[in-house]
Structure 1
Amino acid sequence: MLDTYMIILVVVLALIFDFINGFHDTANAIATCVSTRAIRPGLAIIGTAILNFIGAMISTGVAKTIGGDIVISANMINELIIVAGLTGAIIWNLLTWYVGMPSSSSHALIGGMIGAVAISVGFGALNGWGILKIFLSLILSPITAIVVGYIIMNLIFAVCHSYRPAVVNLTANRLQVLSAALMAFSHGSNDAQKSMGIITLALLSGGFIDTLEVPTIVKLLCAAAMALGTSVGGWKIIRTVGGKIFKMHPIHGFAADLNSAVVIFTATLLHLPVSTTHVVSGSIMGVGAAQRVKAVHWNVARQMVSAWVLTIPCTAVMGALAFLIIRYVFFAAV
């Protein structure tokens, strides 16, 4: 009976994480098109919520990576550990959302899980190669976004240099609606799967399923939770991502969204988790640098990078502390 209650708690916390991820990362999907006034904020959020849901339903490859590559075996952990990891990630996401600092929900989840596993059953239960693969994906994706964003922006400049700026911006403004839609779809295709992977891992460790295959009901719940969270929006982070890194015009927003969508969806096809926050911010930096290196507010970028670097160690500590506190408060007498 206790196992059943713990599984229910894991599912609830994972859906809360997905919901928070939705409004925390709404900024990533719509910051550029809102900041360039390509689409009204309310309409952008509704459209993003729908496309997030659709994107979340198309694949489970990233979910299997999250569920299978953090720990060596599901038999080595239990639901309490997963609850602690989720708790650490949720607390961090809420803190960074409150101060308006873009941070990675992906990093938070992985850091929380690493801390909870390490403090409970030891570092030996962690899948070193799997975590390395995840880390490389998380590290290389924003670098790729910066480089490719720089290249794409220069290509667009080369194609459009003979046209009047007003014509270019009007066309880009219309195209940005499409690129933002692709960005929202790709966001759902990657980010919602992380909670799917955690829930599936919990079901497997508890003996409720036999293989690391994501049940359809889990896909639906996670997709719905992220879509609902997206509909709430994260305005503080939208202001940071959309305007403080680089002053964008429609052509920049189109390039940044298109680049982000390609990078994120490519990662989804490769079953690799990436940070939407990192990729979008990297795209904006690359696009801005193509315009003029000094046009990018690198001090804001440095603050964001600092938050990213701190996320995994901080959430690892939070996950570990959450495990110790939960075990002491609820299971000391068991």
Structure 2
Amino acid sequence: MDVSLGLFLQEIVSNPILAISVLLTLGVIFVNGWTDAPNAIATCISTRCMNVRPAIIMSAIFNFLGVLIMTHINASVASTISNMVDFGADTNMALVALCAALFSIVVYSVGASIFGIPTSESHSLIAGLTGAAIAIQGGIDGVNMDEWVKVLYGLVLSLILGFAIGWGISKLLTILCAGIDRRRANSFFKGAQIFAAAAMSFMHGAQDGQKFIGVLLLGVAFCNGQPDVSGAVIPVWLMLLCSTVMGVGTSVGGEKIIKSVGMDMVKLERYQGFSADLAGAFCILLSTVFGIPVSTTHTKTSAIMGVGAVKRISAINFSVVRDMLLTWVFTFPGCGLISFVMAKLFMMWF
């Protein structure tokens, strides 16, 4: 499959449905950088290691690098997303259904972000693609369960492993730093947490950027009359495009989400913020290497809960956790249903 930049631009000009798909995908990437990326720097800001604007700029840069570098090294997450659903042999209708899926993601994500609730763009994307595939295929034959089951692995990995590693790192640091002067420790962990926040931002770009690269590849394949992305190699220009848009989205901010994740859920000290960021980055790295799509929001918040649980369970603000869990629970049926309905409507209109 030819995915050269020149041919891609020609197809956008000649095929308005592809142009809409690309614009919607870039819109979702922008929203992802705007709503998800702030999770990576929330703890760094809440512990006063960095001010908001410098932290957002740092996160934008490392999101950009994460998409660009990690996709070049290991693109297994993009492959999982591309092969998770089957839109059928009619590639024209498949492209229309893909538009509907992306439209539903934008609607769902922007609506949730207005209220300052951390959303999972990963789960919105998965739910949107799944709903559209079921609509076009008329049943669950449009879902490739061998690939879709990785989503369930990701849920377990992000929740359990994130919590466990966050708890383990924080507990270990508590023991190792017991006899160290508090001011010296805080000075060290200020730099360490900035490093960990950069690593978390890098891995957010690496994980989430690949998901949307997979969607863009699907759109190009459908436009070329191919029902799948077999034989496609991700070009550098596509990595640059996705990473740039995500970086710009991150630079917009997300102060409400920073407050919800970094300040309201658990009151953290610097060593705890470092523990949460390092745990989150490691879990996302592990998932990315094995091609498992995970929610960076799930992973980071689970790590924060694990860190907070080291001192006492009551250190966690469960009202914030409850709101997040409700959002996650409703994402699959909510976004999936919107996508299903929009796919049916789009197929009727086009």
Category of TM-score, reference length = shorter chain:
over 0.9
For 1:91 and 1:241, locate their aligned partners in 2 and report how far apart those are by CA, in whole Å: 22
Aligned-pair RMSD on alpha carbons? 1.8
User: Residue 38 of structure 2 aligns to which amino acid in structure 1?
Assistant: A
What residue in structure 1 maps to residue 6 of structure 2? Answer: none
User: Residue 65 of structure 2 aligns to which amino acid in structure 1?
Assistant: I
CA contact (8 A) 2:37 2:204 kept: no
**Mapped pair 1:101 → 2:117:** yes
Q: Where in structure 2 are the equivalents of 1:103-118 lying within 5 Å?
A: 103-118=119-134
CA contact (8 A) 1:74 1:204 kept: no
Cα deviation for residue 43 of structure 1 reads 0.7
Structure 1 pair 314/154, CA: closer, same or farther in 2 (3 Å)? same
CA contact (8 A) 1:263 1:279 kept: yes
What residue in structure 2 maps to residue 299 of structure 1? Answer: 319
What residue in structure 1 maps to residue 200 of structure 2? Answer: 183
TM-score by length of 1: 0.94
Cα deviation for residue 73 of structure 1 reads 6.6
**Mapped pair 1:269 → 2:280:** no
2:212 to 163, 171, 195: 195
CA contact (8 A) 1:17 1:90 kept: yes
Query: Secondary structure of the residue that 2:37 maps to in structure 1?
Result: helix
What residue in structure 1 maps to residue 171 of structure 2? Answer: 154
1:23 to 10, 34, 42: 34
Q: Deviations over 1:199-251 (max 9, x none)?
A: 10121222277624323222111111101100101111111001111001111
**Mapped pair 1:290 → 2:310:** yes
Query: Secondary structure of the residue that 1:163 maps to in structure 2?
Result: coil
For 2:270 and 2:197, locate their aligned partners in 1 and report how far apart those are by CA, in whole Å: 11
CA contact (8 A) 1:63 1:214 kept: no
Q: Deviations over 1:273-296 (max 9, x none)?
A: 110100010010000001221111
Deviates more, 1:156-165 or 1:210-219: 210-219
Cα deviation for residue 142 of structure 1 reads 2.1
Q: Deviations over 1:40-84 (max 9, x none)?
A: 111111111111111101212211111112338776761111111
Query: Secondary structure of the residue that 2:234 maps to in structure 1?
Result: coil
CA contact (8 A) 2:192 2:274 kept: yes
For 2:132 and 2:89, locate their aligned partners in 1 and report how far apart those are by CA, in whole Å: 14
**Mapped pair 1:206 → 2:226:** no
For 1:276 and 1:283, locate their aligned partners in 2 and report how far apart those are by CA, in whole Å: 11
Q: Where in structure 2 are the equivalents of 1:12-161 lying within 5 Å?
A: 12-58=23-69, 59=71, 60-71=75-86, 78-122=94-138, 123-161=140-178
CA contact (8 A) 2:80 2:292 kept: yes
For 2:274 and 2:95, locate their aligned partners in 1 and report how far apart those are by CA, in whole Å: 43
Deviates more, 1:108-117 or 1:76-85: 76-85
TM-score by length of 2: 0.90
What residue in structure 2 maps to residue 230 of structure 1? Answer: 250
What residue in structure 1 maps to residue 3 of structure 2? Answer: none
In structure 2, stretches of 5+ residues that fail to align are 1-10
For 1:237 and 1:197, locate their aligned partners in 2 and report how far apart those are by CA, in whole Å: 26
CA contact (8 A) 1:183 1:258 kept: yes
User: Residue 137 of structure 1 aligns to which amino acid in structure 2?
Assistant: G
What residue in structure 2 maps to residue 164 of structure 1? Answer: 181
In structure 1, stretches of 5+ residues that fail to align are none
What residue in structure 1 maps to residue 343 of structure 2? Answer: 323
Deviates more, 1:34-43 or 1:205-214: 205-214
CA contact (8 A) 1:200 1:213 kept: no
Deviates more, 1:124-133 or 1:65-74: 65-74
Structure 1 pair 210/65, CA: closer, same or farther in 2 (3 Å)? closer
User: Residue 276 of structure 2 aligns to which amino acid in structure 1?
Assistant: A
Structure 1 pair 4/210, CA: closer, same or farther in 2 (3 Å)? farther
Cα deviation for residue 39 of structure 1 reads 0.8
Cα deviation for residue 148 of structure 1 reads 1.0
Equivalent pairs counted in the alignment come to 330
Cα deviation for residue 315 of structure 1 reads 0.4
CA contact (8 A) 1:74 1:205 kept: no
